[in-house]
């Protein structure tokens, strides 16, 4: 019996190797471009003990082990062709305790998190992809529609249980293993140990109004200028993301979409500030009065498995308004090469509670680069920010209202 099979025989879960019928399904991550990566084995953990055993196996044999939560890492870091994928997907129990504290096992996906917390009248500021794992999201920071109000997902983390590379199982928080706890809040997954569960402080689930405003092609630069002068300083309870989309054979699309924890009239009066600045006719679609969890479900992005194989992206953080020259260069870059399929330019306003945590309090916040004075140069990738928080699947119970922008 080989060493891998030895590991398999000790597990409460299972170890799948090439040639076994379920190996192919188990090895494939959520992101299409990494579907052809073949690990030596996939360990599907059934218990925390399985995680401890697999990490001890890695330590004793020098085998590379990569943890996988939801398998949606854009960089493919939960796949390996040299080692073993440690799939935590079966560890997904969520319990809500007194004072709204939620303990979430690290294989849980966001759709399940929303649903279970909703049953308790609570929620978390997490992201929009329902199949995204809470593990990768939290360990990388976590942006979402409630972020301007409550901060990054990792800002709500109060403790975590982690299997360290030496095989020890530890609880960490602000007092126990504080350096590890600092890094777990946003410094990225898979490097410091394997998290088996997270404890979060939840917030009461609000009702929200979802909106989507579209503008005609010619106004992209003007809408961007209006958005830049309005969105970063808008109240914390509104998140309005701007996306410019180009696709061969289609006109340029400019959309501002998001949600406000306000009723529809209060939301519209805020949006009027933006539309007055952009000064153009467009169309506004709103869905009002939804619990936050339902709103998330209605605007969730398609499952990552549907994403195009060649899809890729990059992001930058800016601490001040982009000059017109930069916006022009970005739009030129987006529109000149029409051979490259569908492409997006997205803007998120990360003000509000995102900025109310000290920059050295957690592992997530890089220093802000200066806005370049001229057209953007090729720069080293910093950290990837999420995909645009838009979608178009209104639930039947909340029919969208179509309005003309002033």
Ligand X SMILES: Cc1cc2nc3c(=O)[nH]c(=O)nc-3n(C[C@H](O)[C@H](O)[C@H](O)COP(=O)(O)OP(=O)(O)OC[C@H]3O[C@@H](n4cnc5c(N)ncnc54)[C@H](O)[C@@H]3O)c2cc1C
- 154-166 burial string, b = 16+ CB within 10 Å, else e? bbbbebbbbbbee
Residues 285-324 interacting with ligand X (rule: CB under 6 A): 301, 304
Residue 71 in the binding site for ligand X (CB under 6 A): yes
Place of tokens 């017109």: 324
Residue 125 in the binding site for ligand X (CB under 6 A): no
Secondary structure (3-state) at 51: helix
**Distance (Å, whole) CA 83 – CA 294:** 39
* Nearest distance in Å: CB 219, ligand X: 27
Interface pick for ligand X out of 13, 67, 151, 391 (rule CB under 6 A): 67
| Nearby residues of 47 by Cβ (< 8 Å), 6 or more positions away | 12, 13, 91
* Nearest distance in Å: CB 78, ligand X: 3
Residue 189 in the binding site for ligand X (CB under 6 A): yes
Nearest CB to ligand X, comparing residues 48 and 96: 48
| Nearby residues of 194 by Cβ (< 8 Å), 6 or more positions away | 51, 55, 65, 67, 86, 88, 106, 162, 163
Nearest CB to ligand X, comparing residues 68 and 185: 68
* Nearest distance in Å: CB 36, ligand X: 16
Interface pick for ligand X out of 63, 106, 161, 298 (rule CB under 6 A): 106
Q: Residue 117 has which token pair?
A: 């917390």
Q: Which range in 9-17, 94-102, 141-149, 336-344 contacts ligand X by CB under 6 A?
A: 141-149
Nearest CB to ligand X, comparing residues 237 and 386: 386
Interface pick for ligand X out of 8, 151, 186, 190 (rule CB under 6 A): 190
Residue 68 in the binding site for ligand X (CB under 6 A): yes
Residue 39 in the binding site for ligand X (CB under 6 A): no
Residue 186 in the binding site for ligand X (CB under 6 A): no
Nearest CB to ligand X, comparing residues 34 and 215: 34
Q: Residue 93 has which token pair?
A: 């129990």
Residue 73 in the binding site for ligand X (CB under 6 A): yes
Residue 282 in the binding site for ligand X (CB under 6 A): no
Q: Which range in 19-27, 165-173, 190-198, 255-263 contacts ligand X by CB under 6 A?
A: 190-198
Q: Residue 157 has which token pair?
A: 């983390």
Residue 132 in the binding site for ligand X (CB under 6 A): yes
DSSP 8-state code for residue 41: E
Residues 156-185 interacting with ligand X (rule: CB under 6 A): none
* Nearest distance in Å: CB 237, ligand X: 18
**Distance (Å, whole) CA 140 – CA 73:** 10
Task: Determine phi and psi for 108, rounding to 5 degrees.
Answer: -70, 145
**Distance (Å, whole) CA 373 – CA 322:** 9
> Binders of ligand X: how many residues, by CB under 6 A?
36
CB 398 within 8 A of CB 288: yes
Nearest CB to ligand X, comparing residues 108 and 226: 108
Q: Residue 31 has which token pair?
A: 């992101």
CB 254 within 8 A of CB 227: no
Nearest CB to ligand X, comparing residues 77 and 344: 77
Strands 94-96 and 101-105 come out as antiparallel
| Nearby residues of 62 by Cβ (< 8 Å), 6 or more positions away | none
* Nearest distance in Å: CB 163, ligand X: 8
Residue 58 in the binding site for ligand X (CB under 6 A): no
| Nearby residues of 294 by Cβ (< 8 Å), 6 or more positions away | 118, 395, 398
By CB neighbour count within 10 A (0-12 exposed, 13-18 middle, 19+ buried), where does 124 fall? Answer: buried
Residue 65 in the binding site for ligand X (CB under 6 A): no
Residues 350-389 interacting with ligand X (rule: CB under 6 A): 386-387, 389
Strands, sheet with 14-16, edge to edge from the N-terminal-most edge strand? 14-16, 41-44, 84-87, 65-68
Residue 26 in the binding site for ligand X (CB under 6 A): no
Residue 43 in the binding site for ligand X (CB under 6 A): no
Q: Nearest to residue 23, comparing CAs of 38, 34, 33?
A: 38
Residue 133 in the binding site for ligand X (CB under 6 A): yes
Residues that bind ligand X (CB under 6 A): 29, 66-74, 77-78, 88, 106, 127-129, 132-133, 135-137, 139-140, 142-144, 189-190, 194-195, 301, 304, 386-387, 389
């Amino acid at each position: 019996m080989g060493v891998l099979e030895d590991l398999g025989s000790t597990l409460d879960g299972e170890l799948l190797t090439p040639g076994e019928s379920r190996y192919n399904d188990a090895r494939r991550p959520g992101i299409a471009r990494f579907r052809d990566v073949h690990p030596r084995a996939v360990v599907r953990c059934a218990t925390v003990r399985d995680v401890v055993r697999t990490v001890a196996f890695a330590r004793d044999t020098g085998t590379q082990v990569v943890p996988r939560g939801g398998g949606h890492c854009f960089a493919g870091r939960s796949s390996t062709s040299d080692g073993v994928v440690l799939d935590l997907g079966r560890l997904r129990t969520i319990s809500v305790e007194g004072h709204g504290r939620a303990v979430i096992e690290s294989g849980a996906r966001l759709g399940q998190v929303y649903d279970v917390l909703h049953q308790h009248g609570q929620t978390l500021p997490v992201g929009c992809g329902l199949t995204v794992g809470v593990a990768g999201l939290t360990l990388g920071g976590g942006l979402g529609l409630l972020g301007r109000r409550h901060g990054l997902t990792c800002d709500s983390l109060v403790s975590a249980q982690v299997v360290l590379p030496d095989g020890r199982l530890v609880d960490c928080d602000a007092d126990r293993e504080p350096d590890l706890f600092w890094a777990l809040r946003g410094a990225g997954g898979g490097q410091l140990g394997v998290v088996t569960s997270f404890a979060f402080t939840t917030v009461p689930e609000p009702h929200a109004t979802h909106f989507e405003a579209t503008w005609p092609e010619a106004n992209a630069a003007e809408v961007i200028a209006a958005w830049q002068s309005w969105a970063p300083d808008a109240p914390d309870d509104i998140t309005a993301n701007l996306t410019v989309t180009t696709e061969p054979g289609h006109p340029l699309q400019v959309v501002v979409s998001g949600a406000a924890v306000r009723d529809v009239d209060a939301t519209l009066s805020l949006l009027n500030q933006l539309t007055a600045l952009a000064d153009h006719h467009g169309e506004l679609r709103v869905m009002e009065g939804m619990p936050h969890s339902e709103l998330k479900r209605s605007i969730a992005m398609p499952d990552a498995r549907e994403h195009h194989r060649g899809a890729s992206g990059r992001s930058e953080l800016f601490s001040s308004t982009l000059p017109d020259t930069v916006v022009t260069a970005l739009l030129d870059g987006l529109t000149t090469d029409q051979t490259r399929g569908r492409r997006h330019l997205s803007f998120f306003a990360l003000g509000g509670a995102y900025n109310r945590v000290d920059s050295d309090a957690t592992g997530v916040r890089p220093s802000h680069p200066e806005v370049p004075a001229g057209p953007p140069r090729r720069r080293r990738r910093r950290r990837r920010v999420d995909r645009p928080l838009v979608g178009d699947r209104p639930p039947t119970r909340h029919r969208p209202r179509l309005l003309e922008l002033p």
